[in-house]
Structure 1
């Protein structure tokens, strides 16, 4: 579970790349920005609390017998491979989602424009 949490963070790093591009940061500044995010994730995020909450979600979604079956699966070669590949797959999936969202930014802005006008937001 900790590997998946770390994978989720790694999936967020393309956002940092976008920020660096938006602010026209050089490689050193981009590295500094990435380090700030890594420090925040490693030092400020309460992983134990997050994992407790995730465990609670699983406990309310699956029976103990089902969780035992899932645990048995993760002990198989396919399950071990799944766990090993999951962080990278999550990162790639997040990139795909981010690319799609970026490609549709104009549509979002068109949808937001009447709202901004209605509420006098510039």
Structure 2
């Protein structure tokens, strides 16, 4: 049970990255007053960005990846999918995301972004974005792994300094 709880927490942290969006929940973000036109423009933008499909794919990929990495979780895969869909799907987060985008961008900005995402270049960016994000994360992980000895030295030095003060 503890392993399942850890897995669910890991999924909730990782899902926004996989979905390529960092959207705080409405409960944690201040609710700005937005016009109906801004909300409509935000919804059109999110539609042009294929947000519903991307979020559904992300949920599927995250659950599949976790089950592949942890075969002991296979027996609870249906429950995991149900839970993630219930709390992290487009249907669940749509209104909060529309509000977030509408609050962050003017109606004019939203319409410009929608025009871009509907263009061939915008669609290409959407198609390539998951691959680019994966590659960027891999580069970052490799860079960190290459430099872990430096971090260890910094931490050891700091700890020794603190020990000598006590």
Q: Which TM-score band (shorter chain)? A: 0.5 to 0.7
Counterpart pick for 2:110 among 43, 51, 67: 67
Following the alignment from structure 1 to structure 2, what is the Cα–Cα distance between the partners of residues 35 and 88?
28
Name the residue aligned to 2:70.
33
- 1:109 matched to 2:152: yes
C-alpha distance in structure 1 between counterparts of 2:100 and 2:83, whole Å: 22
In the other structure, the counterpart of 1:26 is none
Q: What residue ranges of structure 1 are gaps of 5+ in the alignment? A: 17-29
Please, what is the CA RMSD of the aligned residues?
3.6
**What is the CA–CA distance in structure 1 between the aligned matches of 2:94 and 2:80, rounded to whole Å?**
14
The correspondence of residues 1-122 of structure 1 with structure 2, limited to 5 A, is 1-2=51-52, 3=54, 6=58, 31-33=68-70, 36=73, 39=77, 42-45=81-84, 46-48=87-89, 55-116=98-159, 118=162
Cα distance, 1:79–1:58 mapped onto 2, change above 3 Å: same
Shift of 1:105: 0.5
Q: TM-score, normalised by structure 1?
A: 0.57
Shift of 1:54: 5.1
Query: Displacement, 1:43?
Result: 4.6
> Which has the higher Rg, Structure 1 or Structure 2?
2
Q: 1:6 touches 1:87 (CA, 8 Å); kept in 2?
A: no
> Do the aligned partners of residues 92 and 62 (structure 1) sit closer, same or farther apart at CA in structure 2, a change above 3 Å counting?
same
Q: Mean alpha-carbon deviation: is it higher for 46-55 or for 78-87?
A: 46-55
How many residues are matched?
Answer: 99
TM-score, normalised relative to structure 2: 0.45
